[in-house]
Amino acid sequence: MNTHHTFPGIAARAARTDATGSIPPENWQDLKDSGYLRLFHPPHLGGTGADAATQVQAMEALARACSGTYWSATVSALLCAKLISTYGDERHHRLIRPLLTGDRLAAFAIVEPAAGSDPATYRTTVRPTGNGYTVNGEKSRITNAPNADLAVTLARRDKPADDTGPDWCLAFVDLNQPGVRRYDIPHMGLRGMPWGGIVYTDAHIDESDVIPLPFTELAEGMTWGWLLVSIAAVATAESALTASVRHARRRISFGRPLAHMEGVQAQLADSRTHIDAARLLAHRGAAERVAGASARDLIGMLKIYATEMSVQVTARAVQIHGATGVTQGHEVERHYRDAQMNVIGAFATNRLREQIAEHLGLGPAVYRPFDWLTPTGLTHDPVSLDGLTTG
């Protein structure tokens, strides 16, 4: 794949993708032709075995062309396929190869309607049957849920009394079967990305496609998701900055271009600095990850910095554009909406901060009852003024 590919066809269709909330078939054909879907895996799985720099450059190029298309394609070909290859075995190569050719699409089904980052509230359960397993439960706010063929599903295990294995598993669920219902959820940003829910009602899973797994180990696989979201954030910020520089050069206000105003220059300079810092961190994290290191804390820090930076940069872009920047259909308005989604997606940044703090030796973020008010005296009744007189 040409590492300087800018996906011109996908970029030209980005506004339409956002407006219609649907990825055009032409985008998928462009992705197949470019080889993008094959970049992240070794040749024996049907990939190209691209190095880390090539992967990051290609990811940013696609995310700059169309964030919604990037999310849908990369969740399937990178995150889901990596989870399958990491925790599965040779029997699961049959699931990976169609994801890399673009003939099938995968979703990572983890979040539930009443639960975000807290696994203690997850209720989806896998149970053994006479000929495999069934899964019951509902996953919500899932990328690719409405049209995926396969769901890499995090579920609890309904274990026999003598089963001392992990309480959790990854289940590779065929979504094109009875017992599966999907639905769409309207969303603010990344509108082209399919997003919604999956309801399982005794859906069948082959025995080999249920992988018992400690939840703590799953976080290692999810690190790929943090990386793909971070690169999306860098790309969105870069696109917003490009639009801002272009507008600042062209827009004349009070007899001079916006680009000659000190305040605008300061905003653009800050954006340039912050984007480049995030990009360097992304390349470092990807290089370590592709080389086989965990890089979990590093990529966690990247996810926090890059996604929140992107919100700041796109907010500056809106300010520089003025009323034009909040006009529906304008590219900066789209980038601003997309940037917000990255902060929440794949793992909320506030929860990541807690995990990083834990690894600094601060211990787990466990709730304990506490009383803020009594030591301050604020629980006392106010002094009554009845009967008081002035001297």
Q: What is the mean pLDDT of residues 157-164?
A: 89
Residue 375 lies in a domain: no
Query: Both 92 and 38 in a single domain?
Result: yes
Percent of the chain with pLDDT over 70: 94
* Averaged pLDDT score across all residues of the chain: 91
Condensed to tens digits (0 to 9), the pLDDT of residues 231-283 reads: 999 999 999 999 999 999 999 888 889 889 999 999 999 999 999 999 999 99
- Please report, for the domain that includes residue 259, its CATH number: 1.20.140.10
Give the C-alpha distances (Å, rounded to integers) separating 9 from 21, 62, 92, 106, 157.
Answer: 17, 11, 33, 23, 45
Task: Out of 180, 213, 246, pick the residue that ends a domain.
Answer: 213
**Structure tokens belonging to residue 370:** 């506490």
Residue 384 lies in a domain: no
- Please report, for the domain that includes residue 36, its CATH number: 1.10.540.10
Condensed to tens digits (0 to 9), the pLDDT of residues 168-221 reads: 999 999 999 999 999 999 999 999 999 999 999 999 999 999 999 998 888 788
Residue 352 lies in a domain: yes
Residue 391 lies in a domain: no
Per-residue confidence band for 380, with pLDDT thresholds at 50, 70 and 90: low
Q: How far apart are CA 292 and CA 387, in angstroms?
A: 77
Query: Both 121 and 220 in a single domain?
Result: no
pLDDT at 198: 98
Q: How far apart are CA 210 and CA 316, in angstroms?
A: 47
Q: Does the structure show a pLDDT above 90 at 63?
A: yes
pLDDT at 391: 46
Q: Does the structure show a pLDDT above 50 at 2?
A: no
Per-residue confidence band for 369, with pLDDT thresholds at 50, 70 and 90: confident
Residue 291 lies in a domain: yes
pLDDT at 283: 97
pLDDT at 365: 65
Query: Both 191 and 273 in a single domain?
Result: no
**Structure tokens belonging to residue 34:** 């470019």
User: In three state form, how does the secondary structure of the chain look?
Assistant: CCCCCCCHHHHHCHHHHHHHCCCCHHHHHHHHHHCHHHCCCCHHHCCCCCCHHHHHHHHHHHHHHCHHHHHHHHHHHHHHHHHHHHHCCHHHHHHHHHHHHCCCCEEEECCECCECCCHHHCCCEEEEECCEEEEEEEEEEEECCCCCCEEEEEEEECCCCCCCCCCEEEEEEECCCCCEEEEECCCCCCCCCCEEEEEEEEEEECHHHEEECCHHHHHHHHHHHHHHHHHHHHHHHHHHHHHHHHHHHHCEECCEEHHHCHHHHHHHHHHHHHHHHHHHHHHHHHHHHHCCCCCHHHHHHHHHHHHHHHHHHHHHHHHHHHHHHHCCCCHHHHHHHHHHHHHHCCCCHHHHHHHHHHHHHHCCCCCCCCCCCHHHCCCCCCCCCCCCCCC
Condensed to tens digits (0 to 9), the pLDDT of residues 318-344 reads: 999 999 999 999 999 999 999 999 998
Q: How far apart are CA 137 and CA 199, in angstroms?
A: 6
Query: Both 202 and 230 in a single domain?
Result: no
Query: Both 248 and 205 in a single domain?
Result: no
Query: Both 66 and 188 in a single domain?
Result: no
- Into how many domains does the chain fold? 3
Residue 328 lies in a domain: yes
Closest by Cα among 267, 247, 244, 249 to 259: 249
- Please report, for the domain that includes residue 126, its CATH number: 2.40.110.10
Per-residue confidence band for 116, with pLDDT thresholds at 50, 70 and 90: low
Would you call 4 exposed, middle or buried from its count of C-beta atoms within 10 A (0-12, 13-18, 19+)?
Answer: exposed
Q: Does the structure show a pLDDT above 90 at 311?
A: yes
Residue 370 lies in a domain: no
Query: Both 353 and 245 in a single domain?
Result: yes
Asked if 72 and 193 count as a contact pair (C-beta separation under 8 A), the reply is yes
Query: Both 132 and 90 in a single domain?
Result: no
Q: What is the mean pLDDT of residues 301-318?
A: 97
Closest by Cα among 248, 301, 309 to 275: 309
Closest by Cα among 331, 350, 315, 260 to 12: 331
Residue 223 lies in a domain: yes
Structural domain boundaries, residue 189: 107-213
pLDDT at 1: 43
Query: Both 347 and 220 in a single domain?
Result: yes
pLDDT at 350: 79
Task: Out of 182, 213, 244, pick the residue that ends a domain.
Answer: 213
Query: Both 312 and 335 in a single domain?
Result: yes
Query: Both 120 and 198 in a single domain?
Result: yes
Query: Both 20 and 88 in a single domain?
Result: yes
Task: Out of 85, 104, 123, pick the residue that ends a domain.
Answer: 104
**Beta strand 210-212 with 195-205: parallel, antiparallel or unpaired?**
unpaired
